[in-house]
Structure 1
Amino acid sequence: MLYVIIIALAIIIWLVAVDRPRLVVKCHDGKINQIKGHIPPSFHHNLKDILERAKASGMLKVYQTRNGAKLVFSKQLDKSTQQKIRNVFPHQGFKPKGNKKSR
């Protein structure tokens, strides 16, 4: 019986503690180094252009929430670059899972 509790506790910790973004983009000196997840082509093009102009380094993560996508930036990206990325982010490309009933 104890092993069932230990397994359940391990699964709960894994679900809560593990960072599971839908998209991760890492960049250094204005160049995109690593992309994990699906990135829409138009957003990739715009993001590449913004990062090259700003010569930015840092990381962008996109999380899926009930209300849509949530962008999280590393502290290395300055606020003006973050805002430019938010402006070109395709929220319709990252729709929440499940059916929403409209009234």
Structure 2
Amino acid sequence: MLYVILIAAILIFWLVAIDRPILKVAFVDGKIVKEKGHFPASFRHNVLEIAHRTPFSGELKVYQQRSGTKLVMSKEINKSVQQRIRNVFPFQGFRSKGNKKSN
């Protein structure tokens, strides 16, 4: 019985505590140094153009949620650059999981 409780605790910890973005991109001086996940071509092009005009360093993550996608950027990225990236983020480019009926 104790092992069932231990397995359940480990499973709950894994579901809650582990950082699991669907896209993770690291930038250094306006260049992509690490990329993991699906990076839509149009969004990639727009972000690289923003980075070319105003070089920045930091990390960008996209999380899948029930209501859609969530864009998270590190604090090293300037607020004005963050807003420009949010403006070009394709909220429709990242499909949410599950079947949603449109009325």
Query: Residue 12 of structure 1 aligns with which residue?
Result: 12
1:69 aligns with 2:58: no
Please report how far the alpha carbon of residue 102 of structure 1 lies from its aligned counterpart in structure 2 after TM superposition.
Answer: 2.5
Structure 1 stretches lacking a partner, 5+ long: none
Residue ranges of structure 2 left out of the alignment (5+ in a row): none
State the alpha-carbon separation in 1 of the partners of residues 25 and 55 from structure 2: 15
| Residue in 2 that maps onto 1:35 | 35
1:1-103 pair list within 5 angstroms: 1-103=1-103
Give me the TM-score of the superposition, normalised by structure 1: 0.95
Structure 1 consecutive aligned stretches of length 4 or more whose deviation exceeds 3 Å: none
Describe the SS at the equivalent of 2:92.
helix
Identity %: 62
- Whole-angstrom distance in 1 between the partners of 2:102 and 2:52: 41
Whole-Å separation in 1 of the counterparts to 2:52 and 2:31: 6
